[in-house]
């Protein structure tokens, strides 16, 4: 006879899925009881959505290196078996895309990954990955949310629970996509020196596994406090990496240096050039588009979020590639990848994925392509980027600000103001167009743009701008900051 479990103990605070998963503070709203319940409901929704096409009854469960992540993952795995599903539970931390790949590679219903990605140490989270190897579409997480207030029927016969190593299959898949021998030869000869800041996260050991060569890995130890910061690839958290690369002298006089940076679960990437300058994905995505078309002969649609650089469509046009723009959040890119023949999909925050892989951002695969690009071109990353700017005739600088708000009520007030009194001028420049598929993106008369957007889960206002100079971009951002402060 089946036993019914009531979720009443788990609904003190509504569980909401943001742009990629549900996240909360450990011990407050992210608890073992709630993970137990969400995992069961998520498994059932995965079965409803992908059971017929896969014929599977298996769910992958993985985790990152955060505080209690292995324990949360085991709780999720045991909960899922209680409702009749078989579970493959990772025997070690690994990148989130490794579990997405495992779901596709094994023909599973999908994956549940315990991770809070780039969030500070107090947070943990749960991501739901689909059978096709990417983030589930928004309608799937909506189904999970809608079913959380229902009781869960325990199966009369529980499913099985087995452990697996996610690394071998994942590494083999990534290695097959690049000229690995060329990268290895460049490292061995001293023509290429590789640095990687894994930010105490799940990318630790990743590049050395892939390359089969020693590299200079920074912050590879487990640190649940992330040195008091957050495992997010932003300059303020990367001072050691930037200084280390800037001071390094390569063994060969013509040697190149490439630095890679990975977030906490290795689905976001940034880079560092040979002089120790930080390079966001706004720089990397145009380079990757150019590299994939020229070296690999790939074609297909370029998918970008509305916060992506205007250089991206310029480079896409250079190679006669179509362009599609989405709201922010990789699940929107993944959804589009399933509908079109995509070359690449990328977002400003560092998530980049490929149509010839899985519809999932994958920082280690991006890292391999970045290294391959350096080796094949013989150019430093910044020099490669400068050439693209010259070729397209488009030069710009980009910056962003995350502005904390007092509470969610202030967020609502600012949103109402934008809806009722949309600005016609910004920083003394006329607004020529406003795109509102995700926040408000204002295209200005001087060719610059400003995006005002709200976090889906926190009282944070996110401000983005691109302009001809960094000074002009920051003028736009300061205008938005002053606007928000005056209203709140």
* Overall average pLDDT of the 207-218 stretch: 98
The confidence score (pLDDT) of residue 4 equals 46
Reduced to 3 states (helix: H, G, I; strand: E, B; else coil), residue 398 is strand
β-bridge mates for residue 89, sequence order: 61, 163
Confidence of residue 252 (pLDDT cuts 50, 70, 90): confident
Is the separation of the CB atoms in 232 and 255 below 8 Å?
no
Q: Each residue of 224-243: pLDDT tens digit?
A: 999 999 999 999 999 999 99
**Percent over 70 (pLDDT), the chain:** 97
Q: Each residue of 75-86: pLDDT tens digit?
A: 999 999 999 999
Q: Each residue of 26-63: pLDDT tens digit?
A: 999 999 999 999 999 999 999 999 999 999 999 999 99
Confidence of residue 253 (pLDDT cuts 50, 70, 90): confident
Architecture of the domain made up of 397-487: 2-Layer Sandwich (3.30)
Q: Hey, how many other C-beta atoms are within 10 angstroms of the C-beta on 482?
A: 11
The CATH superfamily holding the domain 177-392 is Alpha-D-Glucose-1,6-Bisphosphate, subunit A, domain 3 (3.40.120.10)
H runs (alpha helix) in 344-450: 363-377, 381-392, 408-420
Is the separation of the CB atoms in 87 and 75 below 8 Å?
no
* Overall average pLDDT of the 192-217 stretch: 98
Nearby residues of 239 by Cβ (< 8 Å), 6 or more positions away: none
The CATH number assigned to the domain with range 4-164 reads 3.40.120.10
H runs (alpha helix) in 83-177: 96-106, 138-147, 167-175
24 CB-contact burial (10 Å; exposed 0-12 / middle 13-18 / buried 19+):
buried
Domain boundaries, the chain: 4-164, 177-392, 397-487
Is the separation of the CB atoms in 7 and 156 below 8 Å?
no
Q: Which residue has the tokens 């588009």?
A: 289
Output the six-digit token pair for 313. 């469509």
Number of H helices, E strands in the chain: 15, 23
Nearby residues of 66 by Cβ (< 8 Å), 6 or more positions away: 114, 115, 116, 121, 124, 224, 264
Residue 121 has pLDDT above 70, yes or no: yes
Tell me, yes or no, if the two domains 4-164 and 397-487 fold the same way.
Answer: no
The CA-based diameter of the chain, rounded to the nearest angstrom, is 74
* Overall average pLDDT of the 453-473 stretch: 91
- Distance between first and last Cα of the chain: 56
Would you tell me the crossing angle of helices 363-377 and 180-189 to the nearest 10 degrees?
60
The confidence score (pLDDT) of residue 2 equals 42
Q: Supply the DSSP string of 188-235, one letter for each residue.
A: HHTSEEEEEE-TTSTTTTHHHHHHSS--EEES-S--TTGGGS-S---G
Confidence of residue 5 (pLDDT cuts 50, 70, 90): very low
Q: Each residue of 356-373: pLDDT tens digit?
A: 999 999 999 999 999 999
């Amino acid at each position: 006879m089946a036993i019914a479990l009531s979720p009443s103990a788990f609904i003190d605070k509504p569980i909401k899925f943001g742009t990629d998963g549900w996240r909360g503070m450990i011990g407050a709203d992210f608890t073992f009881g709630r993970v137990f319940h969400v995992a069961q409901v998520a498994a059932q929704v995965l079965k409803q959505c992908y059971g017929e096409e896969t014929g599977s009854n298996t769910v992958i469960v993985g985790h990152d290196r955060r505080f209690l992540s292995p324990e949360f993952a085991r709780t999720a795995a045991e909960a899922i078996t209680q409702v009749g599903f078989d579970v493959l539970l990772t025997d070690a931390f690994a990148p989130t895309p490794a579990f997405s790949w495992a779901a596709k590679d094994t023909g599973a219903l999908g994956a549940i990954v315990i991770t809070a990605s780039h969030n500070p140490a107090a947070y943990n989270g749960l991501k739901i990955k689909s059978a096709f190897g990417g983030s589930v579409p928004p309608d799937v997480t909506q189904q999970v949310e809608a079913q959380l207030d229902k009781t869960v029927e325990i199966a009369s016969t529980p499913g099985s629970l087995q452990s697996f190593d996610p690394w071998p299959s994942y590494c083999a898949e990534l290695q097959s996509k690049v000229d690995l021998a060329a990268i290895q030869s460049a490292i061995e000869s001293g023509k290429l020196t590789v640095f990687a800041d894994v930010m105490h996260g799940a990318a630790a050991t990743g590049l050395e596994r892939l390359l089969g060569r020693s590299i200079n890995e920074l912050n590879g130890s487990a640190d649940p406090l992330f040195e008091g910061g957050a495992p997010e690839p932003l300059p303020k958290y990367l001072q050691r990496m930037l200084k280390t690369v800037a001071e390094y002298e390569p063994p060969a006089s013509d040697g190149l240096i490439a630095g890679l940076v990975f977030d906490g679960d290795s689905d976001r990437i940034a880079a560092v050039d040979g002089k120790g300058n930080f390079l966001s994905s706004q720089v990397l995505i145009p380079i990757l588009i150019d590299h994939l078309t020229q070296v690999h002969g790939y074609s297909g649609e370029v998918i970008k979020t509305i916060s992506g650089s205007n250089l991206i469509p310029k480079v896409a046009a250079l190679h006669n590639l179509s362009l599609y723009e989405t709201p922010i959040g990789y699940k929107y890119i993944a959804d589009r990848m399933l509908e079109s023949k995509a070359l690449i999909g990328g977002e400003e925050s560092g998530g980049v994925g490929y149509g010839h892989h899985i519809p999932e951002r994958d920082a280690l695969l991006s890292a391999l392509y970045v290294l391959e690009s350096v080796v094949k071109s013989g150019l430093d990353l910044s020099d490669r980027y400068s050439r693209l700017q010259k070729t397209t005739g488009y030069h710009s600088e980009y910056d962003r600000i995350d502005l904390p708000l007092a509470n969610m009520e202030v967020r609502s007030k600012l949103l109402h103001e934008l809806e009722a009194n949309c600005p016609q001028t910004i920083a003394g420049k006329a607004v020529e167009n406003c795109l509102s598929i995700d926040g408000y993106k204002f295209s200005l008369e001087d060719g610059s743009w400003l995006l005002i957007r709200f976090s889906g889960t926190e009282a944070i206002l996110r401000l983005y701008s691109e302009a001809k100079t960094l000074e002009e971009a920051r003028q736009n951002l300061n205008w938005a900051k002053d606007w928000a402060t005056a209203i709140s």
